[in-house]
Chain A
Amino acid sequence: MVERAPVLDAVCHAILLVGVACVCVPLYLAFVAGSLTIGEVQQVPLPWLPGDQFVQNLRTAWTQANFGRLFLNSFIVALGITVGKIAVSLLSAFAITYFRFRFRMTAFWLIFVSLMLPIEVRISPTYESVANAALPVQWLVETLHLSQVWNAVTGHSIDIQLSWNMVDTYPGLILPLIASASATFLFRQFFLTVPDELCEAARIDGASPMHFFWTILLPLSRSNIAALAIILFLYGWNQYLWPLLFTTDKDMATAVIGLKHLIPRSDSQPAWNVAMSAALLTMLPPILVVVALQRSFVKGLVDSSK
């Protein structure tokens, strides 16, 4: 729209500058607080200029919260969720859109239903399932009275106890967070827009389904995969409730959980300087990902609506 409205434009710039300030001022103040000594951080009002203790506070936080280990855990969990979810989603979207088989629609609806319940509402049964992933099998054994059947048939008595504990393991942290099919739907939508001629040509050339998948479909999906990967990495890195519940071993916690333990709870020794420097440190990896991959990030955000 070509039109002169200098006053309105100035107002718009002012609004955006206020918006930018609302984002930046809290981060700046966190940085200032993170660079002071514990005595200085308790001054009222807080100084406007940063002090020289930032590195020192980071070092304190790093050792106090065992961040070396926790960052590694966060990376493993975030990457595990990203790679795992994209892999299973690509495969199942491929199966649903490119194959005709008997239970295609059943599979579709089973996956569809899983979009509806976030992990927060099924947290305690999910916890039980993962604390003993063999529980359903155990339940099946008990409901079918398999041991009595065995007893009746063979005359031997056995007691079947199954257990597979995933507490404090990476699969236990990762798998339940993969169990939502949002990515499957994204890929399904995308596959439906891929021209039919590509598949026809591949079939005429005698390519097997997996060959078609690897050499044609996957390269075409690259930008969708990249966009989704960013969103999923953030999702995995920023997870809170599940790792909080699920890690009893301090060495298996993730970075955001470690950060939680640095929040000053009593007023006696409020080490906000250490907490703030640690907060900045913990938000750094996701921010770097977003800043570096801005374009894909926006696409992923709008695409996956998550």
Chain B
Amino acid sequence: MAKPEAGLKRAHFKDVRLPVLLLLPQLAILLFFFFIPSFRALGQAFFLSDPFGNTVHFVGLDNFAQLLQSDTYHESVKATVVFTILQNLLTIAVALVLAFASDRVIRGRGIYKAIILLPYAIAPVIAGILWAFLFNPAVGPLAHVLHAIGFAWDPNRVGSDAMILVILAASWKHVCYDYIFLLAGLLAVPSSLLEAAAVDGAGPLKRFFSIGLPLLMPTMFFLAVMNFVYGFFEIFAIVDAVTQGGPAGATNVLVFKVYVDGFINLDLGSSAAQSVILMIFALFMTLLQFRYVERRVSYDV
């Protein structure tokens, strides 16, 4: 018996042509729609081209240098950081409270869970449209409530209001994701630990904070990474539908700026340089996921 190879079944076939044929569709799709575009993005980032692609000059790192000096880019980075951090905190906090409560209740857990999970099925753009309506300063019922209690709410004019609106819509859509993982984690806490703590006189809250929460830490870390990725990329639909990056660039997050610079302003070099920066970020986040996160989640939620 040959030495076992990583990720190969002990009982396997020794064929050469068949596995190549089996891999062919996947590798062809990856080559055309993943590898070539990714390398082209890398290439474009070092060139300056006119919008029609007729003339192309090699400019080295100029595109990056210009980006790092540009104020709008700085603002975009700031908006992205503010958005992702607040979205992350809000989502995890709400999900944790809901998961704790679901773990505690017996009656009705299935129904609560089913309803809280619903937003997962709803497209980010639809979540955006719903919240844009609810908080529309002219007709929105929730905006009306805010006005009634003396809050001059107007996301069309005030940057921070627009940011709050985007954060609310994104979190509303994403809480369910964190919730299901946290609930699975809580349900997987060994009951022997909980019973021992209960015998020692620890109440439900005490047990949650001293046993459940520490055991959930790896899951929380995984979720934080996933929330950052979600916040970075899926936010595009919400911003495009709700604020279009405005007012005055207050919600012009990085993915939206890549799109606007590349497809509307046709500044391909700069857009590609921004893509490359985002790629590096995405790469980093993925490595974090694989490096630190050992997920052991039971499926019987």
Chain A residues engaging chain B, CB cutoff 8 angstroms: 1, 3, 5, 8-9, 11-13, 15-16, 19-20, 22-24, 26-27, 29-30, 33, 41-42, 44-46, 87-89, 91-92, 94-102, 104-105, 107-108, 110-111, 114-118, 120-130, 133, 135-136, 175-176, 178-181, 184, 188, 191-192, 194, 196-197, 199-200, 203, 209-210, 234, 237-238, 240-241, 244-245, 256, 259-260, 263, 267, 270, 272, 275-276, 279, 282-283, 286-287, 289-291, 294, 297-299, 301-303, 305
Residue from B8, B98, B118, B237 in contact with A104 in the complex, judged by beta carbons closer than 8 Å: B8
Which 4 pairs show the lowest CB-CB distances between chains A and B? A238-B123, A179-B33, A125-B37, A95-B22
- A46:B11 contact, CB within 8 angstroms: no
Tell me, in angstroms, the Cα distance from A122 to B33 when the chains sit together.
9
Tell me, in angstroms, the Cα distance from A145 to B102 when the chains sit together.
66
Tell me, in angstroms, the Cα distance from A293 to B15 when the chains sit together.
39
In the complex, residue of chain B having the shortest beta-carbon distance to the beta carbon of A19: B98
Interface residues on B, range: 35 or more
Residues of B within 8 A of A107 (CB): 23, 27
Residue from B11, B133, B138 in contact with A203 in the complex, judged by beta carbons closer than 8 Å: B11
- B37:A8 contact, CB within 8 angstroms: no
In the complex, residue of chain A having the shortest beta-carbon distance to the beta carbon of B118: A23
B282 within 8 A of A: yes
Q: Given A20-B116, A95-B20, A107-B23, 11 more contacts at CB 8 Å?
A: A1-B191, A92-B22, A104-B19, A120-B233, A129-B32, A136-B36, A200-B11, A203-B13, A238-B126, A244-B240, A270-B136
B167 within 8 A of A: no
Tell me, in angstroms, the Cα distance from A12 to B273 when the chains sit together.
49
Residue from A46, A125, A178, A297 in contact with B139 in the complex, judged by beta carbons closer than 8 Å: A46
- B26:A125 contact, CB within 8 angstroms: no
Tell me, in angstroms, the Cα distance from A25 to B293 when the chains sit together.
35
- B27:A110 contact, CB within 8 angstroms: yes
A15 to chain B, nearest CB (A): 4
- B16:A102 contact, CB within 8 angstroms: yes
Residues of A within 8 A of B222 (CB): 305
B78 within 8 A of A: no
In the complex, residue of chain B having the shortest beta-carbon distance to the beta carbon of A134: B32
- B104:A8 contact, CB within 8 angstroms: yes
Interface SS, A side: helix
- B115:A20 contact, CB within 8 angstroms: yes
Q: Per-residue 0/1 for B8-46: is the Cβ within 8 Å of any A Cβ (1 yes, 0 no)? A: 111111111011101101110111111111101100100
- B104:A178 contact, CB within 8 angstroms: no
- B9:A97 contact, CB within 8 angstroms: yes
- B121:A241 contact, CB within 8 angstroms: no
19 contacts between A and B (CB under 8 A): A5-B203, A20-B116, A23-B116, A33-B133, A101-B15, A114-B30, A120-B232, A121-B279, A122-B41, A123-B259, A135-B36, A175-B29, A181-B26, A184-B26, A200-B11, A238-B123, A238-B125, A290-B120, A301-B180
Residues of B within 8 A of A275 (CB): 129, 133
In the complex, residue of chain B having the shortest beta-carbon distance to the beta carbon of A285: B121
Q: Per-residue 0/1 for B93-111: is the Cβ within 8 Å of any A Cβ (1 yes, 0 no)? A: 0100110111011001000
B65 to chain A, nearest CB (A): 20
Interface SS, B side: helix
Given A118-B229, A191-B9, A275-B133 in contact, is the A241-B30 Cβ separation under 8 Å? no
Residues of A within 8 A of B12 (CB): 97-100, 199
B177 within 8 A of A: yes
Residues of B within 8 A of A117 (CB): 34, 38, 279, 282-283
Residue from A3, A116, A237, A303 in contact with B123 in the complex, judged by beta carbons closer than 8 Å: A237
- A256:B125 contact, CB within 8 angstroms: yes
- B33:A176 contact, CB within 8 angstroms: yes
Listed residue (B22, B100, B141) with the most chain A CB atoms within 10 angstroms of its CB: B22
A121 to chain B, nearest CB (A): 4
- B7:A240 contact, CB within 8 angstroms: no
Residues of B within 8 A of A44 (CB): 138-139, 144
Residues of A within 8 A of B38 (CB): 117, 122, 125
- B181:A302 contact, CB within 8 angstroms: yes
- B237:A178 contact, CB within 8 angstroms: no
Q: Per-residue 0/1 for B258-287: is the Cβ within 8 Å of any A Cβ (1 yes, 0 no)? A: 110011000010011001001100110011
Tell me, in angstroms, the Cα distance from A244 to B117 when the chains sit together.
27
Tell me, in angstroms, the Cα distance from A2 to B40 when the chains sit together.
61
- A101:B20 contact, CB within 8 angstroms: yes
Given A92-B23, A100-B14, A129-B37 in contact, is the A23-B125 Cβ separation under 8 Å? no
